[in-house]
Amino acid sequence: MSFNNSQLYPNCDILIHKNDVQDLGFDKTKTIGEMIDLAIMHGCNIIVKNGKGKWYLKGKGMDIEVLKDEIEKNTGKYPRRMCYLLI
């Protein structure tokens, strides 16, 4: 998997409780660069940061358009969360 662009959606989370790689999330001290590397390695197009808490990888093997639709529905509904879409 490779990507050409990423888009940040503030106050957004999708695929709640469907963490594809690490059920309990990744340590909050990881950087966005480290998370992008992990997302690419595991084929996940979604990275979620839970406020000042943990990181989560989601969307493994899912169609980008489906992910965009989910993001559109949920943007603004989850304060303090950030959703990154890798495309």
**Residue 41 pLDDT class (50, 70, 90 cuts):** very high
Give me the sheet containing 55-58, strands edge to edge. 6-10, 81-86, 46-50, 55-58
pLDDT of residue 20: 85
Kindly state the average pLDDT of the residues 67-85. 97
Domain boundaries, the chain: 6-86
Residue % of the chain over a pLDDT of 70:
97
Q: What is the pLDDT of residues 29-40, one digit of tens each?
A: 999 999 999 999
pLDDT of residue 2: 62
CA–CA gap between residue 27 and residue 55 (Å, rounded): 7
What value, to the nearest 5°, has the Cα angle with vertex 32 and ends 41 and 85? 70
**Residue 74: φ, ψ to 5°:** -105, -5
pLDDT of residue 1: 63
